[in-house]
Amino acid sequence: MTATTATTPIVEMRNIKKSFGAVQALRGVDLTLMHNEVLGLVGDNAAGKSTLMKVLSGAYIPDEGEIYLEGKRVHITGPDDARRLGIEMVYQDFMLANNLDVAANIFLGREVVRWALGPIRVMDKRAMELQSQQLLRRLNINVSSVRLKVEHLSGGQRQAVAIGRATAFNAKVIIMDEPTAALSVSAIGQVLDLIRELKAQGASIIIISHRLEDIHEVGDRVVVLRHGRKVADYPVTGDVQSFRERVVSYMVGARDDFSKVAAEED
């Protein structure tokens, strides 16, 4: 088997199809993510963005198609499979337990156990707190204490903790679903800084977002979906206004790089 190289995609999705009854959510979508790349995934409502990422994260099983991780075909039949492969998804609602502290949220479902006797387990809270502190420092996440309950954090801090949790266990691919939605301007800046920090540390990231200015600011490449098809895939270049106009033209159907292919398939 040939060793993977920097030119081998860390993720490759080929001809992914998914239907819900008579509704074709994905109509043969191809997507690649390179090592240490920030990929923006955009499109109008019902374009297929979240469905495609739920396929990659194991929430949905595709009707057809193949997924490759670092050049090797993988079979993802559930979120546990994706997590074992190093694929983590951060959802828009953070999926945090507000009544637990920061450290407990980071280790939720992956607690460090000091000792166990049958169903009785004693968690090593000190170890989890120390590892959480190290994680937050590494990612430059500003939280006063890992013992602070999540319900007392700002929106930006909650998103940072959710992202930190996704990276805490050697994730290879981090998927972020609308990471800056409903955040203040300052909180958006904090999250974008965190994405830059993750990239600087070698992470591969896919961002689903309606905020095109965020994709322009931190993205390396953008993929546009429309009605379950990929209609554009190109590097993020130019000023934010021209970038926005080009993306919107693909989203509304004024342009379509793959229209010939789609017509032939039909």
Given this model, what pLDDT does residue 137 score?
Answer: 92
Given this model, what pLDDT does residue 6 score?
Answer: 56
Given this model, what pLDDT does residue 259 score?
Answer: 54
Concatenating the DSSP letter of every residue in 227-241 gives TTEEEEEEE--S-HH
Given this model, what pLDDT does residue 2 score?
Answer: 35
Q: Please give the DSSP secondary-structure letter assigned to residue 93.
A: T
Domains, the chain, in order of start with CATH, read 11-97+155-265 (3.40.50.300)
Q: Is the pLDDT confidence value at 127 over 70? A: yes
Q: What does the alpha-carbon distance between residue 125 and residue 176 come to, in Å, rounded to a whole number?
A: 28
Give the residue ranges of DSSP H helices in the chain: 49-56, 79-84, 102-106, 125-138, 155-167, 185-200, 212-218, 240-251, 259-265
For range 222-250, the mean pLDDT: 96
pLDDT tens for 55-88 read 999 999 999 999 999 999 999 999 999 999 999 9
Residues β-bridged to residue 140: none
pLDDT tens for 1-20 read 334 445 889 999 999 999 99
